[in-house]
Structure 1
Amino acid sequence: MIEPLYQEILERKKEPREGSYTNYLFDKGIDKILKKVGEEATEVVIAAKNEDKQELINETADLVYHMLVLLVEQEVSLDEIKEELANREGKLSKTEDRKVIEEL
């Protein structure tokens, strides 16, 4: 389902449709897209903290959509993301190599 949505967003960038929210984001540019990604990520955190499953589902869907718009805007393919994830598969991630999260 993510692949077809990515392709639809890519197509919308190539062939804009009047009144399209996706095209609105592309027209406003990278700063607007980044702002929306940040807003949606924050809303995912809030939904999780509120322990509201439906809100978490809704906000996660919004975040995924806006992340895909960002990837298209930056010309990053899903194959590149898949490749990076595959490169990480099976690798041990040491907690001491990670930044400590003090509090949320």
Structure 2
Amino acid sequence: MNDILIKLEQVLEQRKSAKVDESYISSLYNKGTDEILKKIAEESAEVIMAAKDGVNDKIIYEVADLWFHTLVLLRFKEIKVNQITNELSRRFGLSGLQEKAKRNN
């Protein structure tokens, strides 16, 4: 699974130097955090609507869009995919209650 995320990360990094009028991603980077967050909010709403519709293919499609735009944010903020997967690995095997208690200390 990480292979496609790493490949996407590399492409998203390359898009930082692309011309704004030739790259959707470059245009998002150029507009900054607020525009990227708007896209994430929009995609989140679409995931919710797809889930309410109950059609798995729509859910998959919309979650892919959400993940993609989240990856855009991560690259914009210079956060690497492996930092996220490392955090998920750290949490693996902890109950949600244990993980939450660790954050509150």
Shorter-chain TM range is: 0.7 to 0.9
Which SS does the other structure have where 1:94 is aligned? helix
Unaligned runs of 5+ in 1: 99-104
Q: Does 1:53 align with 2:56?
A: yes
Unaligned 5+ runs, structure 2: none
Q: State, as a whole percentage, how many aligned pairs show the same letter.
A: 39
For residue 6 of structure 1, what is the amino acid of its counterpart?
Answer: E
Match of 1:16 among 9, 13, 18: 18
Higher helix share: 2
Q: Deviations over 1:9-36 (max 9, x none)?
A: 01111x2134211011011110000010
RMSD over aligned Cα, in angstroms? Answer: 1.7
Deviations 1:60-95 (A, max 9, x none): 111111000000011111111111111101112229
Moved over 4 A (4+): none
Larger relative contact order (CA 8 Å, sep ≥ 6): 1
1:81 maps to 2:87: no
